[in-house]
Chain A
């Protein structure tokens, strides 16, 4: 359920690193807690993000959740499809509904994040 090649945060974001670029999304657990997602607010390409700092938000009908960046760097692309089809975040949070890609400035930051097994244990706790 939680891909082994992802790393996870306590705020329920995931990150997948390929080369110097990280793809970031929210976890299956996070979308379940939020319920039907109606809007996704994402930064512009070129925005600097910082590990642990918020870069956007996800909204359901009656709640707003900030999204915290798992890594530091510069936003290189955003998932435009979510502007018109936010429901994809409910359907496929670990795949099609990634949020942003970031060009890493401190690649080692990822090592401090949870692996799939740790995250599942964290959810169970």
Chain B
């Protein structure tokens, strides 16, 4: 087999040097009741050609050649060629977590750069080495706020991504953390400040909001922050569309920022792997979960990097750890790092401006459901969105996300997204179809 680098005679030599005569002696001492007495029922090994062909076959049953207006947490952005070039280098692809700093400076340095750029992007002072994804970063932020404030409950806006809220519910249910959702303004599509004011109290550890929110609307983060802070709680701001941060104000009034970097060169890949971020103020550094890279000196006095503040983590603190999280998403975070350095300060802004222009072209004369300003996603009233999407599919267009499954009151609406990859022709076709 091509992944096993030994000839039969080498195997025999190694067996002999171990004082064994047959390979079965390596395991036949296990109790008979636990030994599997038959081969695994998985077809025999296949050639590279057959494997490539199999996945091509599967891929041919996917959405090839369609224009798509889906966003809702996963966005179609161009992936600069360099991103794959860098992450395909074996030194990054096939290395382990950088515990041995002497032979891991490559990974450590890129993570330090990642942490820095996440801070610059979000207006925070400390960012960790990445989280599994945006959805799992949300409960980690909630737990962090609980540790910091010593309070025990969490408020989350209904305008936060519905799947993120579901994940938050799963994580918190058994930790005695009550999570209460509060609604949105039916006109603007922004969170309902009055509802938040009514719900917040002296037990509230964190208020979790998203901007741009799930409907694509920008929230008034500053205003929300004032209310939250005057009640002694922490504000957690979530983002799913990182490209927006090229243009919109960073949520500097937040105490914790969590989000998803999928937009930064990470292919949609049917939902993962992605890379989440968590960033915060310097004073909360010891409560941040996951891995952190810090700057230090090596024995020669040169700048070097290492994993730091490991005492927060599970392998040292065990059941008292800040989280059970042990991996980050280093390779995916590296893709995002390369993306950020390829686009850079100017490019990210231009990219965001193109997204803004495309989405506003698409939205122009469509029946908008909400009034608040939006970046590259917005909600339109379409009558029966499922029926419209069926019609569009025939034109090789994947329409927007019907919202009824998450918001029954918006059953006549869909969420549309346009990025720099969305071409004018399908946009015109979609507009025509909605208005028909």
Residues of B within 8 A of A39 (CB): 286, 311
B317 on the A face (CB < 8 A): yes
State whether A64 and B286 are in contact (beta carbons under 8 Å apart), knowing that A39-B311, A59-B311 are contacts in the complex. Answer: no
B310 on the A face (CB < 8 A): yes
A61 — nearest CB in chain B belongs to which residue?
B310
B306 — nearest CB in chain A belongs to which residue?
A61
Residues of A within 8 A of B286 (CB): 39
B316 on the A face (CB < 8 A): yes
Of residues 314 to 329 in B, which have CB atoms within 8 Å of A's CB atoms?
Answer: 316-317, 320
* Main DSSP-derived SS at the B contact region: helix
Chain B nearest Cβ from A82, distance in angstroms: 14
Residues of A within 8 A of B311 (CB): 39, 59-64
Which among B310, B311, B320 has the greatest number of chain A C-beta atoms within 10 A?
B311
Give A17 to B107 CA distance when docked, in angstroms: 51
Residues of B within 8 A of A61 (CB): 310-311
Give A70 to B308 CA distance when docked, in angstroms: 31
Binary contact readout B267-282 vs A (1 if CB under 8 angstroms, 0 otherwise): 0000000000000000
A58 — nearest CB in chain B belongs to which residue?
B311
Residues of B within 8 A of A60 (CB): 311
Binary contact readout A91-113 vs B (1 if CB under 8 angstroms, 0 otherwise): 00000000000000000000000
Give A26 to B316 CA distance when docked, in angstroms: 21
Residues of B within 8 A of A59 (CB): 311
Give A13 to B311 CA distance when docked, in angstroms: 21
B286 — nearest CB in chain A belongs to which residue?
A39
A41 — nearest CB in chain B belongs to which residue?
B286
Give A115 to B310 CA distance when docked, in angstroms: 36
Of residues 286 to 330 in B, which have CB atoms within 8 Å of A's CB atoms?
Answer: 286, 310-311, 316-317, 320
Give A88 to B316 CA distance when docked, in angstroms: 23
B308 — nearest CB in chain A belongs to which residue?
A61
Give A63 to B320 CA distance when docked, in angstroms: 13
Chain B nearest Cβ from A101, distance in angstroms: 23
Chain A nearest Cβ from B241, distance in angstroms: 37
Give A61 to B99 CA distance when docked, in angstroms: 13
Chain B nearest Cβ from A31, distance in angstroms: 16
Binary contact readout A32-63 vs B (1 if CB under 8 angstroms, 0 otherwise): 00000001000000000000000000011111
Of residues 68 to 125 in A, which have CB atoms within 8 Å of B's CB atoms?
Answer: none
Residues of B within 8 A of A63 (CB): 311, 316
Residues of A within 8 A of B317 (CB): 64
Chain B nearest Cβ from A11, distance in angstroms: 17
Chain B nearest Cβ from A124, distance in angstroms: 29
Chain B nearest Cβ from A53, distance in angstroms: 15
Give A61 to B307 CA distance when docked, in angstroms: 10
Residues of A within 8 A of B310 (CB): 61-62
Extra pairs beyond A39-B286, A61-B311 (8, CB < 8 Å): A39-B311, A59-B311, A62-B311, A63-B311, A63-B316, A64-B311, A64-B316, A64-B320
State the B residues within 8 Å of A (CB): 286, 310-311, 316-317, 320
State the A residues within 8 Å of B (CB): 39, 59-64
Give 15 pairs: A residue, B residue, CB < 8 Å, sorted on A.
Answer: A39-B286, A39-B311, A59-B311, A60-B311, A61-B310, A61-B311, A62-B310, A62-B311, A62-B316, A63-B311, A63-B316, A64-B311, A64-B316, A64-B317, A64-B320
CB-CB nearest 8 A-B residue pairs: A59-B311, A64-B311, A64-B317, A64-B316, A62-B316, A62-B310, A63-B316, A61-B310
